[in-house]
Every structure is written in structure tokens, then in C-alpha cells.
Amino acid sequence: MLRLEKRPVPSRAWTVATPVLAVLLTMVAGGVMFQLLGKDPFVAIRTIFWDPVFGEFAWYFRGQLLVKAGPLILIAVGLSMGFRAGIWNIGAEGQYIIGAICGAAVGLAFYPLEAWFIFPLMVIAGGLGGWAWAMIPALLKTRFRTNEILVSLLLVYVAEQLLAAMALGRLRNPEGGGFPGSRNLSQYPSAANLELIPGTGMHWGVVAAFVAVIFGYILLQRHVLGYQIRLAGQAPRAARFGGVNPNRLVVFCLGLSGALAGLAGMFEVAGPAGQISIDFNSGYGFTAIIVAFLGRLDPLGILLAGLLMALTYIGGENAQSNLGLPSAAIQAFQGMLLFFLLALDLLSNFRVRLATRKVKT
């Protein structure tokens, strides 16, 4: 019989190897799924992982890689802080939506004024919007001991209803012929998040993602608050005896993750998306959870994981158009990555032992 035996300390070798093995197993399982769908698995995997980087149109896809990776990295860095401390913000998608609404509302309020201060105000509004939405589960947890997982997740559905209300109501384009959706912010220069270097995909949201990675690394490795975050996650009782205030940590971690998610939403609505619409939310807030764990909750690892996940987005869209794969298959492929990551992560903390069953005589 096989049994699990807890390791005295987590295995560093398995910790490093788990993300790599998870990606390989995802390719194998995904290949089987593609075969069942009647597609050549080798062609499908090549289309998803190889063609966007080294294929005929790689020059275009490489720019899109940063566009897709930016919001994932930005959100995942914020989530990783809370996850390390045992604070589970599962509602980043809602904070992403609210940040987009607040940022777009500020930009549209000044339309058609051309002024340099409009975009910075949108950035502030987007960050504050995401922060304020994250404060709801934070305050409920600190005051009434509610579960931040349930509260933050349920608030996603509230944010989606607010998004629909804004697209059909207060933010709807008055010159849009009655169709839902706001004005196109990318055509309003003072409120547009345009490419900084044409053809590269580099915009202010990507810059913010790289800044967040650097900030997250310094915070975790060089600041006392980072030490408190790690201690609270690894030894909660020791953290309390060491003077760590758990309520302050909840407010800080949820507030930081909410602000970064709100910024991601603002940069997206002012750039690639261009407008507030009913279907603006693209699942970045949920996908960022996979990115955070795939990156081992480390900012540098999240940077690489975000680029990899962005590659599955771009490669998946490429496979849908060229091979006729359904979008649900691509979503299942991405879900496999998290499944194998969590399954293999068990081996970082446990050994598999062969146990003999004693026969009674």
C-alpha cells in the first residue's frame, strides 16, 4: 500500500521541479484531449507554445505577449502577498472590474478636454477603486470574522452587475446609437493607454507590472513587512507572539492586491479593451491565481509564469482560428495547469512510502 509521510521540511528540489513537471503533464494531458477532439496533438501543442514565439508571425505575437502578460503579472503579484500570509483574496476579478469602471469614469468625465493630468487621475481612480472594493471583505473579516474567500468571490458577481449597469446606463456612449458600451478611450488621447514603443505591446500597464515585480521582491526580501507576511503564513501563532497584528496584515494584503487589480483593469480599459462594455471582464482575476501559484508566490517566478500563461492565451486564440479548437478546450487546458501544479505540490511537503499491510493470524 502507498501512504503519505510528511517531510520534516519542504523539499527544495520538488519545489523547483513542480512547475516544470506541471507544464509537461499539462502538455501530455492536453494532447490527449486534443486527440479526442479529432485534432493532431503535436500540431495543437506546437500552435499554442511554439508558433507565437518562433513561427511565421512571431513578430506580431511577441508584442501581444506583453499585452496579455501585463495584467496577469500585476494582479498575481498582489495576490501572492496575501496568499503567503494565509489571506485568500479570490475576488481579484471584481476588483479588476471596479478599477476599470472608476478609471474610465474619470476619463469620460473630462471628455473632450485635452489635458496632461487626465490619465494620471485615471490611474489614481483605478487603484483606489480596486482598493475600496477589496476593503469590503477586509473590514468584514477584521470586524466580524467573515470568510474573505466567500465574500471576495461573491463580490465578483456584484461587480459584474455594476459593469453591465454602467455599460447600459451612466457610461454608455451618447453617440453610440443606443448600443451598450462607453466611448472608445483609445480614441481620446488624454485618456488613452497607448503603446510606448509602437509594435512592441509595451504600454504603461506593462511598465506597472515590471515595477510591481521589483516592489514585491524588495518588500518580501528586504523589508520587515515582508518578513511578517512570510511568518504569518508559515507560523501564525509565532507571528502573533512576535507582535504581528493580524488585522493590519489582512487590511494591507487585501488592500494591496485590490489596488493592483484595479490598476490592471484601468490600464486594460484605457488600452487594449478601449471601452467599458458588458463583456469587458476577461477572467484575468481568476487566471492570475494560477499565475501566482505557478510562480511559487515569488515575484520573479510570477514574471515568468505570467509570460507563460499569456503564451497559452495567445497560442490558444491562434489554435482556435487555425485549427478550429473550441474556446472551452483552451480554458480546460489552462485549468489542467493549476490541477497538476496543486497535485504535484503535495510532493513538496509529503513523501510517498510503500507500507506493508499486517495480516492478522
| Cell representation of residue 212 | 510591481
Contact 322, 61 (CB under 8 A): no
The DSSP code for 48 is: I
| Cell representation of residue 169 | 446606463
Higher pLDDT, 298 or 177: 298
Contact 22, 337 (CB under 8 A): yes
Report domain extents, the chain: 65-292
Handedness of CA 27, 28, 30, 34 (dihedral sign): positive
110-162 pLDDT tens trace = 999 999 999 999 999 999 999 999 999 999 999 999 999 999 999 999 999 99
For residue 332, give the nearest of 14, 42, 36 by alpha carbon.
36
Neighbours of 20 (CB within 10 A): 10
Confidence band of 225 (pLDDT split at 50, 70, 90): very high
Q: In the Cβ-directed half-sphere of 313, how many Cα atoms lie within 13 Å?
A: 23
Neighbours of 38 (CB within 10 A): 8
What is the C-alpha to C-alpha distance for residues 23 and 308, in angstroms, rounded to an integer? 10
Confidence band of 348 (pLDDT split at 50, 70, 90): confident
The alpha helices in the chain, defined as continuous H runs, are: 12-36, 41-45, 51-54, 58-84, 92-109, 118-144, 148-168, 204-222, 224-234, 236-241, 246-270, 284-294, 299-323, 327-349
301-321 pLDDT tens trace = 999 999 999 998 899 888 988
| Cell representation of residue 56 | 511565421
Confidence band of 257 (pLDDT split at 50, 70, 90): very high
178-195 pLDDT tens trace = 889 999 998 899 999 988
The β-bridge partners of 6 are: 350
Neighbours of 206 (CB within 10 A): 24
